[in-house]
Amino acid sequence: MYLHFGVDGGFVAAGLHHPSPKQLGPLRDQMLEDPEEFDAVVEGLREAGLGLDPENSLKTMPRGYSEHAEHRLAWALRLKELITSRRLPRTAWKSGDIADRVEEFARGVTPLLRFVRSG
């Protein structure tokens, strides 16, 4: 998990940031081997009001995965990192409820963190 504070507020993030292809390979394989497990990760994030950040995605399938271009998780296989984040307004830091917000976020990202650790 990562916590950032700036003059305009900040954010909290969690997951696998800038992994190597060697680190991502086993996770991609796990997505294909057990898509329902990954569905549960995505659903857990959705229930917490979160989602995987698609901003840092490949335009095409990663090397070794081109035969999975039509797979329902092709969007996830193209991700170059598995992260999610939530903005934290400046008022959250000033009001004293920042610890509660970070704890809520941590609980919401637990399925993602478990998945990332299992790879």
The CA R_g of the chain, rounded to the nearest whole Å, is 15
Q: What element of type H or E holds 105?
A: helix 98-118
Q: pLDDT by residue (tens digit) across 3-50?
A: 998 888 899 999 999 999 899 999 999 999 999 999 999 999 999 999
Secondary structure class of 85 (helix, strand, coil): strand
Tokens representing 48 are: 């917490």
The domain containing residue 40 runs over which residues? 2-118
Total domains in the chain come to 1
Q: What is the pLDDT of residues 69-109, one digit of tens each?
A: 999 999 999 999 999 999 998 888 888 888 999 999 999 99
E-only strand ranges, the chain: 2-6, 9-16, 82-89
CATH number for the domain spanning 62: value is 3.30.1460
